[in-house]
Each structure stands twice: as C-alpha cells, then as structure tokens.
Amino acid sequence: MASLRVHYLPELVAEAKLAGGTCVVIDVLRATTTMISALAAGASAVLPCLKIDDARQRAAGLLAGQAVLGGERGGVLIPGFALGNSPAEYTPEIVAGKTIVMTTTNGTRALLHCQHAAEVWIGAFVNLSAICAGLAGREQIDLLCAGSDGEITSEDVLFAGAVAARLSSAGSYTLNDQATLARDAWLQVSASEGAALKPRLVSALRSSRGGRNLIALKMDHDIELSADIDRFALLPRYQTPTGLVTAD
C-alpha cells in the first residue's frame, strides 16, 4: 500500500528519511505561493538560496539583467533586493523570462532539506489540484511543512491535510499520525456549514501563526491571494542537479 506522510516541520524528519519518494514542500504564507505565482507570471525559474549572501552571489553570477533578487527576512523586504515575498509583486512585467533568486526565512530552508528525495515539488492552495493529480499513483509521498522559525504553523498543516483528504478519498494510503491529524483539521474547515470555502479558508489562514504575522505587517492582501484555491494549474519541480525550480 502506498504511504502518505506529513511532517509538520523539517526538523521532525531526517533528510535521509525522504529518500526515494516524492516530497511536496509547503509554505503557504508565503514562499511556495510566491514561487508558484512567479512561475505563472512567466519567470523562467526560481533559484532558492539558504542565505542572503548566497543569493546575492548567485544573482551576480547570472547574465546581466537575467536575475531578480526576491525574498524576505522576518516577513519584510531584504535591503538591496528588488522584490519581497508577496505573490502580488511577481508580475509578468517584472519577472517574465527572468530567474528569481530567492531566499526566505522558512520556505527555502525547507526546500533545501529535501535533497535526497527522488522528486521535489512546490505546493500551496493556489495549485492544490495540480499537486493532487501529480501525486496520484505515487508509492511514497512526503508532505513537508516549512513552519515558522521552528514552530508548527496551521496554514501549512491545513494544506497538507487538504492533499491527504483528496488522495485518501480516492485511493488506499497508509497515513502517519501527522497526516491523519492534518486531514481531520482540513475536513473541519472544508466541510463546515455556512459560507463558501474560500471565506472559511481565509478566516483559518488569518488566525494562523503566519496569518497573524502578515496582519501585523499590514500585508493582509497576501492571505487572500494565498487562499485562492486552484488559481494556477502548475506543478513546479525542484531540480536537484541544477538547484532550480521550474514549472511543467
């Protein structure tokens, strides 16, 4: 039987435990949402970097005019970077045909934790259906939540739960306890009566750790964008040999 495991933080799973499977990296608010949005806007690739100095050096090594520096620390724009970590910033006029050299507090760190996986994908609510369709039939699935500064974040857990709910309803999977808890949390949000799903999801994201951080930074609009389920039909993949994220 196929296995589907959720990991609430990179620190909770050894890199070697991800070997051989398909790993989906999740940072709903906002790194993975922003990466997907950048690729949808025509960026040729995203180059994730762990440190700010690494990003500057990698950008400097690309052809003149080819690189756009993007990312954040503590949720805010890094001095000298062209873009922050808001999906709204990554417009076709700015990023089309460019390589986005990106470093973020949590998302890029989680992505680089997956070096041993056979496949590494980028997931968020904005490409939920594309992720689920791509995962169908995979024998080992790992959903890796980025968290925030080493703490579990409910926004990432909810997305992992949405994937677990869809896949387990369509096939037979062995779920770990974290996957079961994430699925149940998502079902509580998605199956409740009343308003349509997006308002309920927005409410859940606003009350999450990442949502509260964005509200404090007066970046509420990013929560709305991040809750736009299936806005894109992209399946971005991290190519370990090149270090680039590109989209199918």
**Number of domains, the chain:** 1
Q: Is residue 246 part of a domain?
A: no
Q: List the beta bridge partners of residue 142.
A: 5, 23
Q: Identify the CATH number of the domain in which residue 145 sits.
A: 3.90.1560.10
pTM of the model: 0.97
In tens digits, what is the pLDDT along the chain, a chain of 248 residues?
A: 899 999 999 999 999 999 999 999 999 999 999 999 999 999 999 999 999 999 999 999 999 999 999 999 999 999 999 999 999 999 999 999 999 999 999 999 999 999 999 999 999 999 999 999 999 999 999 999 999 999 999 999 999 999 999 999 888 899 999 999 999 999 999 986 556 899 999 999 999 999 999 999 999 999 999 999 999 999 999 998 999 999 97
Contact 140, 21 (CB under 8 A): yes
Sign of CA dihedral 114, 118, 124, 126: positive
Domain assignment of residue 100, given as a range: 2-240
- Residue 15 CB partners (closer than 8 Å, separation 6+): 113, 114, 115, 116
How far apart are alpha carbons 158 and 190 in whole angstroms? 10
The reported pLDDT for the residue numbered 192 is 65
Report yes or no on 148 lying in a domain: yes
pLDDT of residue 193: 57
**Residue 199: per-residue pLDDT:** 94
Helix/strand/coil (H/E/C) assignment for every residue in the chain: CEEEEEECCHHHCCHHHHCCCEEEEECCCCHHHHHHHHHHCCCCEEEECCCHHHHHHHHHCCCCCCEEEEEEECCEECCCCCECCCHHHCCHHHHCCCEEEEECCCHHHHHHHHCCCCEEEEECHHHHHHHHHHHCCCCEEEEEECCECCECCHHHHHHHHHHHHHHHHHCCEEECHHHHHHHHHHHHHHCCCCCCHHHHHHHHHHHCHHHHHHHHCCCCHHHHHHCCCCCCCCCEEEECCCCEEEEC
Whether 20 is covered by a domain: the verdict is yes
